[in-house]
Structure 1
Amino acid sequence: MNRAIRYSSKKALLIALVIGMIPSILGGALVYLKSNADLSGLSATAVKEAARQIDVMLEEAENASDILLTRAGLPCPGNISRQLQELVATYRFLRSTHLAIDDKIYCSSLPPSEASPGTDPNNYLHGRLHLGNQTLTGSNSSALTLRSALNNASSLVEIDGRHIQDALHLIDRHSNLVLEIGRHWMSQDGIIHHASFENYPIASTALSSEKYGYTLYAAYPAGTLLTYMLNTYLLLLVLLLALGLFAGVFTYWMLGRVLAPSLELQRALSADEFTPYLQPVISSTSGKCVGCEVLARWYHPQEGSISPNSFIPLAEQSNLIISITKRLMEKTAQELVPYASKLEAPFHIGFNISAKHFESFELVDDCISFLKSFKPGQIILVLELTERELIQPTRTATRLIEKLHALGVKIALDDFGTGHSSLNYLQLFKVDYIKIDKSFVSMIGANALSVHILDSILDLALKLDLQVLAEGVETEEQRDYLGACGVDFMQGYFYAKPMPVTDFVSKALHHPQKNPALP
């Protein structure tokens, strides 16, 4: 096309920014989801491993408790106390063992100076577990106590809180592992807390023990997700940013170039951007508007109105001319039918066709549809052959002309005298009209040789019994000369420019233009 179809710089920049952000946004979202899934997996693994280790400790405590209960109710001489101490030495996680009757400790592995755990079952989760601080050798330390009962006897086995702390801290020190038993909970620093527990917001995971009833929590503090993304997927994030930058710059560069014309034509056709403009055809004898030539106008969203000379050749090369012509005929019928009663019957309506139309019979169906839109005899459909592409005299082309004539469609040879095949077309096809090119009309009064050529064309048309239409009439002198030479019809800017259908109806119809050269 002669005119470049470009996006405005602001719109191109906006589109480029959007395109450039897509890889970063989508990729960043995927990295975010993957990082969140990674952290959720880590926290789930952490609570499972912590639960496994704590269960091992409690199973040891249960084994010790089973042995203790066999001695429940027996007096507690020195040998029994030593047996309790031996249990502590035998099992690696135990800190102390105790025997109680009616919830009163009467035998312990600890010396009398050391505090023993409480025995009230109400202070134990499900009467079994208690988490709290105990005094041992003059210092406070945490302990997890397992209580087992048999009749009125009970055993209390304490697990050293340092082992619980190690399980919480060493598995994953970043996941804030917490052990909760009843109203008490232990953090990774080994401190027992009695206030309500609030977990961190990232990848929060909880696991409750069906056997013992405790609950483990794991989560990460705010900001961990971003840190994890940068530490783990920094290279991928940089690549996504680079990809987005490249996509944005490339898009901006591409939008600054001329779009692929055939693709733009296809888009315009889908968007119904082609509209008919009508240029009046005037009778040389009556001065009335007796017809019109339908010209395509392309209203591009950025470029505005684009003339046929800018896109019709490309439409022919890209095989879109048939679809454009079909749509032009449909829209012309839709817009002109409401004003059909104002037309000078039989009203000539001309459409330009090209060599592509002669490769199939689709044009016949289009013409039938167009003629059915009007009352019989109301219009004469004229198809104007252009010479931008050579029409081959194939059997299909010959049969097409025959079918068109059978419908009453007239054939006009456009721009006669300028193409190398004008005379050949007169021999091959049954032509009803010839249209004298405006290049000859413009030489009237200025170039004697061109006027002689014009006279020869008119003489040829007379001998072949062809009607003549002169294009490009722009002056009174041209109008008068052509009228005096017997030209049947005229069109040009002297009468009117191509215009929308509504303007054509209001301005061009029923405004006779008398030719002074005629009596």
Structure 2
Amino acid sequence: MNRAIRYSSKKVFLIALVIGILPLALGIPLVYLKSVSDLSRTSNTAAHEAFRQINVMLSEAEAAAKELSDITGLPCSQAAKPLREAVATYRFLRATSLATDNKVYCSSLYGSDVNITVNPHDYLRGRLRLIDQTASGSKTAALILRTQQAHKSALVSIDGRHIQDALHLIDKKSNLSLKVGNHWMTQNGVVDNPPFENEPTAPRSVVSNEYGFTVSAAYPAGTLFSHTLETYSIILGLLLALGMFSGLLTYWMLGRVLAPSIELQRALSADEFVPFLQPVFSSTSGKCIGAEVLVRWNHPHEGIITPNSFIPLAERSNLIIAITRRLMHKTAQQLAPHASRLEQPFHIGFNVCAKHFENFDLVDECILFLKAFKPGTVILVLEMTERELVKPTPTALELIERLHELGVKIALDDFGTGHSSLSYLQRFKVDFIKIDQSFISMIGADALSVHILDSILDLALKLDLQVLAEGIETEEQRDYLGACGVDYMQGYFFAKPMPVSEFLKTILNHPDFSNKTAWTDSHSQTGKRLTSPVR
């Protein structure tokens, strides 16, 4: 058995680990793809915007060059003024020059005192050239546009600072660059080597069909990781938290349901199932005349566990009979010494299920329970739930007869919620019916449920059955049921289920406890049921 438990625990751990990793395994690739998409979109947008701005600058330079073409060939003394006016007129220009036979003879910067030879092969497509002018004292590069007509040409220089500003301000992180021929202008200036050898992330390029220049954008290695952390840190944190929560929840849930018979058997051996008592009050006297015994699992690690969590497991693993036997024994052991001080006869109710009616062991358990008390001090009530079908086999019917011979009362629990109420009343000779909380809770809220409740009370009157209403939580419910002549009541309005010691302390040491449920004269009844309730 120990080997099986260890194997099961290992299996639970592995399953929980897989479930815990699953959100990360599915989420991280999606976050990664989203980060790649983000950088690609940003890089593409930056490259196109830089391309657009440089085109604007070149369009302006083109317009200036066309104006200057008309004066190309004039003496410098006549052309100098228009050259300087062009620089002043067009916002992006740094200098303008005129050349004949590929020799510059006049410049807006130097006038006629210039002797520069122009090599058309230095210009991309004979039109565009990117030069570094830092050696000549200028702080930035320049982009030169050349236009030629026959042997005459005009050269318009765009200030590199404007291009640098565009590359820098559009997106500082995408490392935008302008390529003209074999030269690049980056955000930091002109370089002679490709600037993207170490920039492999989200590379994007836009090529000008008209001028031949290329605008490129890319991110350095590591940008994807840093971008993911900066942008999606919350999502990554949530994925991690979800993974941890899913793994721990899976581990906890599988640990609870794995090999339930082993865990329940261990709890039985450790005597962890304890009785809780919920008082039952008389609607006429207001006194506590009995209690329903409810099982609780006092788990060493999880504390008190309610029966809904383990009773179905106990029934499937055939341990429910052993648990009920232990519960009856412990209840008798704790209540018997104080039975004479309780209301006489004191009703003590236990829930039984279909498996109890498959053999006669229940009769022996009831005999042992009643022997613990003096004759006449208690009435044992067994509550059959209508939610689980008890088949009217010969064994079950004979069992009911023997229980009645012992003075044991049979109550039909959850009356009205199942599928065989009338059949139960006819075949099992029921003494009490317990009205389910679902009907009680609708008092004052649902007229149809109240009509059903009235019909149940009328049926009980005609069959001479005593009625217990459970799940009473409000004063309105109590008053309504009292006016209807319901015999007994229980619910959180009066008291919650409590350990036996607390129950005895409350009942025996605080006589005024019963006054909490005492009826006023206007609600006190003689016990006669009303076929039409006072509303």
| Partners of 1:422 and 1:323 in 2: CA distance | 27
Q: Match for residue 352 of structure 1? A: 351
Match of 1:385 in 2: 384
Distance 2:342 2:352 in 1: 23
Q: In the alignment, what sits opposite 1:290?
A: 289
- Residues 1:515 and 2:519 aligned together: yes
Shift of 1:337: 1.2
Distance 2:415 2:331 in 1: 26
Give the C-alpha shift of residue 255 in structure 1. Answer: 11
Q: TM-score, normalised by structure 1?
A: 0.51
CA contact (8 A) 1:353 1:386 kept: yes
The CA deviation at 1:254 is 10
Specify whether residues 489 and 254 from structure 1 end up closer, same or farther in structure 2 by C-alpha distance, changes over 3 A only. closer
Listed one character per residue, the Cα deviations across residues 151-178 of structure 1 (whole Å, up to 9, x for unaligned) are xxxxxxxxxxxxxxxxxxxxxxxxxxxx
The residue number in structure 1 matching 2:213 is none
- 2:327 and 2:254 map into 1 onto residues whose CA distance is 31
Deviation at residue 388 of structure 1 after TM alignment: 3.6
Show CA shifts across 1:16-70 (max 9, x none): xxxxxxxxxxxxxxxxxxxxxxxxxxxxxxxxxxxxxxxxxxxxxxxxxxxxxxx
For residues 403-426 of structure 1, the C-alpha deviation after alignment (integer angstroms, 9 at most, x for no partner) is: 000000000000100011222111
Letter in 1 for 2:390: I
Q: Which amino acid aligns with 2:416?
A: G
Partner residue of 2:463?
464
Distance in 2 separating the partners of 1:487 and 1:434? 11
SS in 1 for 2:314: helix
* CA 1:508–1:492: 2 relative to 1, 3 Å: farther
Aligned residue in 2 for 1:163: none
What is the match of residue 451 of structure 2?
452
The aligned runs of 1:227-238 (5 Å cut-off) are none
Shift of 1:358: 0.4
Contact 1:281 / 1:289 at 8 angstroms: preserved in 2?
yes
Q: CA deviation at 1:266?
A: 1.3
Q: Mapping of 1:361-380 within 5 angstroms?
A: 361-380=360-379
* SS of residue matched to 2:337: helix
> What per-residue deviation string (whole Å, max 9, x for no partner) do you get for residues 239-274 of structure 1?
xxxxxxxxxxxxx98997443222211111111100
Kept in 2: contact 1:479–1:515 (CA 8 A): no
Whole-angstrom distance in 2 between the partners of 1:311 and 1:444: 31
Give distance in 2, aligned partners of 1:451 and 1:496: 24
CA distance in 2, matches of 1:387, 1:284: 24
Shift in CA distance, 256/409, structure 1 to aligned 2, threshold 3 Å: closer
Counterparts of 2:263 and 2:492 in 1: how far apart (Å)? 30
One-letter code aligned to 1:400: L
1:307 paired with 2:306, answer yes
Aligned residue for 2:460, secondary structure, equals helix
Report the 3-state secondary structure (helix = DSSP H, G, I; strand = E; otherwise coil) of the residue aligned with 1:349: strand
- Secondary structure at the counterpart of residue 344 of structure 1: coil
- 2:401 is the alignment partner of 1:402: yes
Q: Distance in 1 between matches of 2:252 and 2:497?
A: 35
8 A contact 1:435–1:471 mirrored in 2 = yes
Equivalents in 1 of 2:298, 2:444: separation in Å? 37
The one-letter amino acid of 2:260's match is P
2:336 is aligned with 1:331: no
CA contact (8 A) 1:313 1:388 kept: no
1:257 and 1:484 map into 2 onto residues whose CA distance is 49
**Structure 1 position 508, deviation (Å):** 3.6
Partner of 1:40: none
8 A Cα contact 2:261 2:317, kept in partner: yes
Judge conservation of contact 2:339–2:373 (CA < 8 Å) in 1. Answer: yes
Length, aligned pairs only = 273
Aligned-partner SS, 2:277:
strand
Deviation at 1:345, TM superposition (A): 0.5
| Unpaired segments ≥5 residues, structure 1 | 1-5, 14-251
Q: Deviations over 1:285-316 (max 9, x none)?
A: 00000000000000111111100111112211
Q: CA deviation at 1:470?
A: 0.1
**Structure with more contact order per residue of length (Cα contacts < 8 Å, sep ≥ 6):** 1
Matching of residue 496 in structure 1 with residue 495 in structure 2? yes
Kindly report which structure 2 residues correspond to 1:233-248, keeping only aligned pairs within 5 A, or say none.
Answer: none
Q: SS state of the match for residue 434, structure 1?
A: strand
User: Using a 3 Å threshold, how does the CA distance of structure 1 residues 455 and 398 change in structure 2: closer, same or farther?
Assistant: same
| Structure 2 unaligned regions, length at least 5 | 1-5, 14-249, 525-535
Aligned to 2:491, what secondary structure does the other structure show?
coil
Equivalent position SS for 2:313:
helix
Residues 313/254 of structure 1: CA separation in 2 closer, same or farther (3 Å cut): closer
- Cα distance in structure 2, aligned partners of 1:474 and 1:349: 22
